[in-house]
Amino acid sequence: MIKKLEEALKTQERMAARRLDSEFFDIRADLAKRTRQNIKLTEQIRDLQEDLDDLREHLGNVKSKRNVQEKELKERKQKFINNAQRVIKSQQDHNDVLVAELLRIADGDIDATDSQVVRQERRKWSPSGRLFSAERFLGEF
């Protein structure tokens, strides 16, 4: 009987050891599986990070190009405004000279045929003269 009990105890110990070994191998297999998954996820993260870096670089290039284009547009607008202001100032100066000359003619100080400004105006509006000479100062926008 003692022998049977000893054998039963040994059998139970062997079965317990086998159960522990089985659990140990299951845990190792699960750990190996999770390690492989972690490696795959790490590679995916690395690839996504590279893609993100590429996109950031591309976005930086696009922003840089856009900034250059905006700067060029502002410069062209400012040049157009400056040219327009110069033309307006020139026309105002010319009009002031013309008004002064017409006042001198009206006062009788000079004759209309003697006025150089009147002769220039007559030539300006003649078919052989340039009708819109101020347009050349504006340039292209």
**What are the pLDDT digits (tens) for 65-119?**
999 999 999 999 999 999 899 999 988 998 888 888 888 888 877 777 777 777 7
Please report the pLDDT score of residue 33 as a whole number: 96
Q: Is the pTM of this model over 0.85?
A: no
Number of H helices, E strands in the chain: 3, 0
Tell me the C-alpha distance between 72 and 80, whole Å.
12
The type of residue at 87 is: V
Cα 34 from chain centroid (whole Å): 44
CB 110 within 8 A of CB 116: no
Q: Which two tokens stand for residue 59?
A: 């976005």
pLDDT digits (tens, 9 = 90+) for 38-50: 999 999 999 999 9
